Structure 1
Amino acid sequence: MKIIFSPSKEMTFDNPIEEKVEFNDKIKIIIEELKKLKPIEIKEIYKISDKVLEEVLNYINNFDKIESYRAIEMYTGIAFRSFDVASLKEDERKYMDDHLKILSAFYGPLCPEELVRPYRLDFNTKLKIDGKTLKNFWKEEYNNSFDEGEVILNLASNEFSSLLDRKKFTIYDFEFFEKKNGKLKSHSTISKKARGKMLNYICKNKITNLEEIKKFDMDGFKYENKMSEERKFVFVK
C-alpha cells in the first residue's frame, strides 16, 4: 500500500543537508530547459508577479549551488503543517518512509527522505519539453513508480493524482466536508488541512487495514457512510 501526497509552494530552509546529490536525467532536462528561457518567458508561462519571478530565477540560475533538503522537511504548506512530521515516533516515521510518495512536477514521485533543492514548478506551468507538456513528460515514470494493482490512498490533489492510470491501480479517494447551517461545504483550505491530519493518523496508526481509516476522527471529522463509495472515503466535520 502507498499513500500519495501533493507538494507545496511554501518551503522552509531551516535544515540544509551538506551532501552531494546526483539528480536523474529527467530533472536535468527540466532545469536545462528552464535555463534557456528569458525572464519574460518565465514570467509568462508561470503567470507570476515580478517578485515571484525573482525567486524563481534564483532557483533556476543557482540550482547547482543551492543547498539540499529532505523533501518531507522542506515543504511547509497547509497540508504539511497539519501532518506535523516532527510528532512522529521512530517506528511511525519508518512507516511513512515505506509508504508515502510526494508527487512533484519537478522531481517526479519523491520518497519523504529524498534530498531535493528548492524549486517552483507545477503541472499548470506551460513548459514544453520536446513538445510534451509536463504531465506527458512525467506520466510514464509516475505510473512505473507503483506496482500494478497496488492499493494507493489518494491524499493528493487532482493536479497530481490525475497522472496515475486508475485501470492499473486500486486507488481510494478522500473527500472532506464541513457542515455549516445544515449545508455541506468543501474548499481547498478544509481539504488541505484534513489531508494532512489524515496522513498523520495513517502514519501514527501504521494503517494496513482500510477499515481502520473509517475511525479517523481528528478535528471533529467523522466518517460518513451514506456519502462514501466503494473506493471513496467521505468525512464530515
Structure 2
Amino acid sequence: MLVLLSPAKTLDMSPVDRPATDPRLLDHTRQLAGVLKKKSPADLSELMSISDKLADLNFERFQAFQPAPVGKPALLAFKGDVYQDLEAADFSPQEFTFANQQLRILSGFYGILRPADLMQAYRLEMGTRLTTVRGANLYEFWGDRLTQLLDRDLQEEGSGLMLNLASKEYFRSLDPAGINGRILNIDFREKRKGKYRFITFNAKRARGRMARLITLEGIRTAEPLKELVVNDYVYSDEQSAGDNWTFVKD
C-alpha cells in the first residue's frame, strides 16, 4: 500500500542521523529553483500571498538553494499539523524503512518525496500560479510526471492499493485514470450541530495519526484500516461509499 500525504509549511531543518536518499525529480526542482531565484521578495509576497517577513525568508531560501541533493530527510523536516501526529522522529530504523517504502509526500517544489529523500527548506504550495515554460501553474509544470512515478512505485510495491491522505489541492496534481490500481480516499468528519462536518485542523492531525498507525502496525492492505481508532475517529460504514471511506467521531 502506498500512502499519499501533503507537505507542510512549518519546517524543522535541524540535522538528524538517518539514512537518506536523493529526490528522484530533482532535475525538475532545479528548473523551478531557477525561476524562483529571479523573483524579488515583493514578487514572492504577491505570488504566494504571504507577508513581507515570510517573503524575505523564502527569498533567502531560494537564493541559497543548492542543485546537489542536500538537506534533511523529508519526513523529519516537515513539522505541520499532519506531521505532529505522525511523530516520525521516534520511528525505529525498521519503522522508518517501512515508512520509506509506503509513504509518499506530494510537493509543489519536489514533485514527490519519499520519507528519506533529502530536501532543502522551501515554501511552494501546489496551487501556486507560478508561470514556467511549461505553463501558468505548478499543475501544468508537473504534468503527468507525478502520476507516472507513483504508478511505477505502486507496481513495484505490489499491493495495487493507494491510500489517499492528501489534501484536494495536492491530490489534484495526479490523474487517477493513470494509476493502475485501487485508490482509497479517506475522509475524517466530526459531529457538529447534528451534522458530520470536515474540520480542517483535526482532519490534518488525523491524517498524520493514520499514517503513523499504518507504519507502527505494518499495515499493507485496506481491511485492517477499518479497525483503527484515529484520534477518536472510527470507520463508519454508513457514511462511506465504495472507495470513499469516512471515519467519524461524535
**Alignment TM-score > 0.5, same fold:** yes
Q: Does the CA contact (< 8 Å) of 2:73 and 2:116 recur in 1?
A: yes
Q: 1:229 to 1:195 in 2, by over 3 A?
A: same
TM-score w.r.t. structure 2 length?
A: 0.87
Task: Give matches, 1:117-128, under 5 Å.
Answer: 117-128=120-131
**53-62 or 182-191, which moves further after superposition?**
182-191
Tell me which amino acid in the other structure corresponds to 1:212.
Answer: P
Checking the alignment, whether the CA contact within 8 Å between 1:224 and 1:235 is kept in structure 2 is yes
Q: Does 1:167 align with 2:196?
A: no
Q: 2:134–2:140: 8 Å Cα contact kept in structure 1?
A: no
Q: Is the 8 A contact 1:16 1:68 kept in 2?
A: no
3-state secondary structure, aligned to 1:11: coil
Give the CA RMSD over aligned residues: 2.4
Match of 1:143 in 2: 147
One-letter amino acid matched to 1:96: A
**Does the CA contact (< 8 Å) of 2:76 and 2:89 recur in 1?**
no
Deviation digits for residues 31-68 of structure 1 (CA, Å, limit 9, x no counterpart): 11111223322221111111111111110111129961
Residues in 1 aligned to 2:199 and 2:22: alpha-carbon distance in whole angstroms: 37
Q: 2:9 corresponds to which residue?
A: 9
Aligned: 1:112 with 2:112: no
Counterpart code for 1:102: I
Tell me if the contact between 1:12 and 1:75 (Cα under 8 Å) persists in the aligned partners: yes
Q: Hey, what does 1:153 align to over in structure 2?
A: 163
C-alpha distance in structure 2 between counterparts of 1:16 and 1:44, whole Å: 34
Aligned CA distance change for structure 1 residues 58 and 21 (closer, same or farther; 3 Å) = farther
Partners of 2:193 and 2:96 lie apart in 1 by 39
Deviations 1:109-153 (A, max 9, x none): 111001110011012222111151211111321011123674210
Whether the 8 Å CA contact 1:79–1:192 is kept in 2: the answer is yes
> What amino acid is the match of 1:163?
S
Give the gaps of 5 or more residues in structure 1. Answer: none
In the TM superposition, residue 218 of structure 1 has moved relative to its aligned partner by 2.9
Q: Which residue of structure 2 aligns with residue 75 of structure 1? A: 78
The 2-side partners of 1:141 and 1:20 are apart by 19
2:65 aligned with 1:63, yes or no? yes
CA distance in 2, matches of 1:43, 1:83: 30
| 1:230 and 2:250 correspond | no
Distance 1:173 1:218 in 2: 15
| 1:93-108 mapped onto 2 (5 Å cutoff) | 93-108=96-111
2:221 paired residue number: 209
| AA in 1 matched with 2:239 | M
Paired position in structure 2 for 1:45: 47
Q: Distance in 2 between matches of 1:7 and 1:99?
A: 16
Residues 190 and 199 in structure 2, CA contact (< 8 A), matched pair in contact too: no
Deviation of 1:21 (Å):
6.8
Pick closer, same or farther for the CA change 1:123–1:65 going to 2, 3 Å: closer
In structure 1, what is the Cα distance between the partners aligned to 2:72 and 2:171? 24
Alignment coverage as a number of residue pairs: 237
- Deviation of residue 225 (structure 1)? 0.3
Unaligned runs of 5+ in 2: none
What SS does the corresponding residue of 1:43 show, helix, strand or coil?
helix
Could you tell which deviates more after superposition, 55-64 or 75-84? 55-64
Offset at residue 181 of structure 1 (A): 4.4
Q: Distance in 2 between the 1:181 and 1:127 partners?
A: 40
Asked whether the 8 Å contact 2:236–2:248 carries over to 1, the reply is yes
Structure 2 counterpart SS, 1:225: strand
TM-score of the two chains, using structure 1 as the length reference: 0.91
Which of the numbers 175, 183, 202 marks the counterpart of 1:190?
202
Counterpart residue type for residue 161 of structure 1 = F
